[in-house]
Structure 1
Amino acid sequence: MPNLRCCSSSSLSLPAESYIYQLCAAGPASLAAISSDNSLRRFDRSSLALLPDGLVKETHAAGVSSLCAAGDGLLATCGKDGTVKLWDARRAGAVAVFQADKGMPLLSLACNASSHSIVAGTELVKPDAFVLFWDTRSPGKTCRQYVESHNDDVTEIQFHPSRPSVLLSGSTDGLVNIYDTTVPEEEDALVQVVKHSSIHHAGFMQDKAVYALSHDEMFSIHPVTSADEDDSHADEVKAVEFGDVRPVLKAEYVVQVLVDAAGSYVASGRTSDRSLSLTPLVHTPEFHFEQSNSWMLPGAHGEEVVRSVLFDSESRTVYTCGEDGHVRLWKEEPASSAELSSIRPTKQRKEKGYKPY
Structure 2
Amino acid sequence: MKGVLLVNLGSPDSPEPKDVKKYLGEFLMDERVIDVPLWARTLLVKGIILNTRPKASAAAYKKIWWKEGSPLIVLSERLQDKIQDQVDLPVSLAMRYGSMTIKKGLQELVDKGVDEVFLIPLYPQFAMATTETILVLAEEIRKAHFPNISIQDLKSFYNNTNYINVLSNSIEKYLESKDYEHLLFSYHGVPERHIRKRDITKSHCKIDGSCCVTASPAHEFCYRHQCLEVTRLVAEKLNLKEGSFSTSFQSRLGFDPWLQPYTDRTIERLGKQGIKKMAIVTPAFVSDCLETLEEIAMEGEEIFHEMGGKDFTTVPCLNDDKEFVDLLSSWITDWAKTETVTA
TM-score scaled by structure 1? 0.27
Higher helix share: 2
Structure with the bigger RCO (C-alpha within 8 Å, sep 6+) is: 2
